[in-house]
Structure 1
Amino acid sequence: MSSLTDLKDRIDTKTLNMVLLTFATGGIYTILWLYRNYSIIDEITETKTINDTFVIWIAVCVGLGSLFGSSYDQALMIIGGILSIASTVLYIVCAFKMKTCLQNYVLNKFKMEFPMNGFYTFIFSIFYINYCINDLGKLESRQRVKSSEYENIAQQLEKLAELKEKGIINEEEFNSQKAKLLNGNV
């Protein structure tokens, strides 16, 4: 059986490195990361997110947007701006496809919720996806902690029920303590 960290282990890109390399290469690194890793994401999650053509369109929009945007011709600058916006939209579409893919993968394969912020997906797109992939290992440990907390609460509720059955506490005290346990106030 595959592990929750397989995706993280195969992609193995620290988000800070990704951001720095993207700035250092004028955006080229993000395109290379996407081209190299979308197939790994698709393979592990057994879901189709994007394809080579999608990545090429991002590269074309980024490249031509930069080229035309630095022109002295007003019309070319406008075209460059439109192409830059188009590349941003393509990145956002890709990020949301990968977000859905990752959430479904974790839910269906490991029976865990994987909360990913839609706002961050929109603003940080591929960077946030990489961050979430790196966070998969922590998700597993958080899930274990949450499970043990639920088991502890269940045991305490059983003890309270026993105390009530034995007449040590009355119905009102039982309900009060039960409410405290379920609300996390104990």
Structure 2
Amino acid sequence: MSTINELKDSLNTKTLHLVLLTIATGGIYPLLWIYKNTLTIERITKNHIASSSFIIWIAVCVGLGGALAGSGDVSIDMIAGLLTIASWVLYIIWAFKARKAVQEYALHEHKVDLKTNAFYTILFTLYYVNYCINDLPEAKRKQNILAGNDAEGVEA
């Protein structure tokens, strides 16, 4: 059985650093992070999240959407907007699959009922997934405290 810190330690990315690197790279770093870490998350959680081709399609939509934006031609700008929206949708799909994998991993491997927020998953995508991964040890600690308090209440 793995430790609760294994996933967090394997990824080794603070959420603030992820946000700052996204800003510093003009939005490219999240693609690199997903490409680099999806296999690690899948290996540890033993759940499939996304194939390499899925991640490449995210990159294609982000790249072409950015390259075509602001061309001055209305039809090309509309295509750029559609590609940007498609990239957001693909990021959200990835985030929900990763969130589900992390929740199942926490429950089955560590008996931690990881409560997550679907709205935050839509709004913050991979940043929220990274936050949840980093918060796993704290979630386990809180659950153990609550279980200990419940047990004390039963004995009294």
With normalisation by structure 2, the TM-score equals 0.97
Greater RCO (CA < 8 Å, at least 6 residues apart): 2
Aligned partners of 1:15, 1:70: CA distance in 2, in Å? 31
Q: In structure 1, what residue type is equivalent to 2:83?
A: L
Aligned to 1:100: 100
Aligned to 1:90: 90
Aligned partners of 1:115, 1:140: CA distance in 2, in Å? 11
SS in 2 for 1:135: helix
Aligned partners of 2:141, 2:107: CA distance in 1, in Å? 15
Aligned to 1:143: 143
Instruction: Tell me by how many angstroms 1:127 deviates.
Output: 0.6
With normalisation by structure 1, the TM-score equals 0.82
Deviating runs (4+, > 6 A) in structure 1? Answer: none
Question: May I ask how many residue pairs the two structures share in their alignment?
Answer: 156
Aligned to 1:64: 64
Question: Does structure 1 residue 109 correspond to structure 2 residue 109?
Answer: yes
Q: In structure 2, what residue type is equivalent to 1:102?
A: V
Gaps of 5+ in 1: 157-186
- What are the Cα deviations for residues 1-60 of structure 1, in whole angstroms up to 9, with x where unaligned? 201110000001111111111111111100000000000000000111101111111111
Aligned to 1:40: 40
- Alignment RMSD (CA, Å): 0.8
Aligned partners of 1:138, 1:10: CA distance in 2, in Å? 17
Percentage identity across paired residues of the two chains:
45
Gaps of 5+ in 2: none
Aligned partners of 2:24, 2:70: CA distance in 1, in Å? 18
Instruction: Tell me by how many angstroms 1:148 deviates.
Output: 1.0
